[in-house]
Copies of this chain bind each other. A is one copy, B any other.
Amino acid sequence: MSYIAPVKDMLFAIEHLAQIEQVAQIPGFEDANLDTAQAVLEECAKFNEGVVAPLNWESDKNPSSFQAGVVTTAAGFKDAFRQYAEGGWQGLQHPADFGGQGLPKTIGAACIEMSNSASLSFALCPLLTDGAIEALLTAGSDALKATYLEKLVSGQWTGTMNLTEPQAGSDLALVRTRAEPQPDGTYKVFGTKIFITYGEHDMAENIVHLVLARVQGAPEGVKGISLFVVPKFLVNADGTLGARNDAHCVSIEHKLGIKASPTAVLQFGDHGGAVGYLVGEENRGLEYMFIMMNAARYAVGVQGIAIAERAYQQAVQYARDRVQSRPVDGSVAGSAAIIHHPDVRRMLMTMRAYTEGCRAMATTAAAAYDAAHHHPDAQVRKDNATFYEFMVPLVKGYSTEMSLEVTSLGVQVHGGMGFIEETGAAQHYRDAKILTIYEGTTAIQANDLVGRKTARDGGQSARAIAAQIEKTEGELTASATPAALAVAKRLQAARQAFLDVVGFVAGSAKADPNAVYAGSVPYLMLTGNLVAGWQMARALLVAQELLHKGQDEAFMRAKIATAQFYAEHILVKTGSLRDSIVEGAASVTALALDAF
């Protein structure tokens, strides 16, 4: 159950798909070249393989626990987080001004994948801290930045996102937590927040809660929500910790998975009011929260890739070791390792192709993020921002949905042993299930893709991506190898299916919203499938070229084989999704409500 970071595949994506050398031409990223990427990834692999990964199984068995307001995290977590902080990993992508290393997301995303492969539960703490840092960087006052950022970036303190309340999950309009303005400019916060990941723990000196609440008299709905910093301990003017704030953990949840990460119910203001500090302006909380959410959504997509990679590695190991039955082709006399059986190969290839495809998609999206935020040319920034925004729901939605299938196959490869908790495969299956839910369910991602990313511009961004894919098809056809032609055939059909659906979505979103939203998740799945398949096609072209140059033959051949498998076994699914979306919308809502 060990984990070996797939550094080679990550660097392939960083170098050839995300084109790190172009990222390194952006002012501020001059040092972020391939050598840097390699050095950082190797160091990161060492840390996560050696320190974090060994904690994963035991911390599921003996997870974080709660007693009298205090959460004790799983054995080893506190020490691992200390090492994480000391290694500078929390600050990897954050500005040097606040003690970070200022590396591009193109490199940082690979590190996030590694820590999540090592332990999803552990990695959630820095993941949420990243979100808090993003929100403060974007909207926090200089005073808030000065007080909190350096400590968060160093990993001395951690951050949380407090959105959900019992009646307000996907629907933040229903948030009831209230904030009362005080004469000194602070607020007193009152309310209950649930599902707060690392809402209480013992791994850091202070916890910086970012809390959505309504100021008295604010408009109803999402336009009346503000964002507050509510620290666990108040911070003195000299930066030392002051009084305990009135924000208390009253319980943690008993969950299906990610058990080692404490999921807290937080009670604000039961003893007079929790002191809160407004972030940015009143009633713009949702806007700021979306900054955190977007960062977190991308990261949750990477979690999907991470857990898929871990499940894949474990399944391969088992398939090599487990001897059972004769191969159908008679190639081995007597019983053979099950990796010789075609269906086991099909399962492993499916796991591998999904994982590599989504990694390629996420890495490419990361490079767009870097250009969108840092490129000197405004048009380049805008184009990349559009592309990245389109990618976020795909990275989040598709990579997490595929992780359910991959972790399920991971159990299946193990047969009966997979159902036994001691084997560890079942843990990945349990852990993955949260990924399609938190930071916005797949349906919420799909609504975003349909509404803000497709219908709003009449399908223009979507069609721009289709045009890029068509270019790749041309390159495949020109290359004319059997593998390239096989992939081109499937890619073309998938793109055509995509264009049909984009026409339907853009054309009918206003006139017949029920029909379009009935196909929203299938549309997300089709598009994620296509984009990941497209990136695998690009990878195939690069691999063919490098193979021709004699570079790393085994790796390049494997990439080509995996890309062709992706096209012939995953990309092919887009056709039926198209039919369901475009021709089957009415039957989704045809059943009378009382007939269910």
Interface residues of A, Cβ cutoff 8 Å to B: 164, 167-171, 173-174, 194-195, 253-257, 316, 319-320, 323-325, 328-329, 335, 339-346, 348-349, 352, 404, 408, 411-412, 415-416, 418-422, 426, 429-430, 433-434, 436-438, 441-443, 446-447, 486, 513-514, 517-522, 554-555, 557-558, 561-562, 564-565, 567-569, 572-576, 579-580, 583-584, 587-596
Contact = CB atoms under 8 A, between A and B. Distances in A.
Contacts of A254: 420-422
A316 B171 contact: no
A345 B595 contact: no
Given A426-B256, A514-B328, A591 B561 contact: yes
State the 5 A-B residue pairs at the shortest beta-carbon distance, nearest first. A568-B584, A256-B426, A342-B518, A343-B443, A558-B595
A595 B553 CA distance: 11
B419 A255 contact: yes
**How many copies of this chain are found per oligomer?**
2
B569 A513 contact: no
A584 B569 contact: yes
A429 to B, nearest CB: 7
Contacts of A420: 253-256
A contact patch SS: helix
Contacts of A567: 587
Given A339-B596, A576-B572, A419 B443 contact: no
A173 B255 contact: no
A565 B591 CA distance: 9
Given A256-B429, A520-B342, A568 B554 contact: no
Given A349-B588, A426-B256, A589-B342, A408 B433 contact: yes
Contacts of A422: 254
A509 B459 CA distance: 46
A174 B323 CA distance: 10
Nearest to A513: B328
Given A254-B422, A256-B426, A561-B592, 11 more contacts: A255-B419, A342-B589, A346-B588, A352-B591, A412-B442, A429-B433, A554-B592, A555-B595, A557-B595, A568-B583, A572-B576
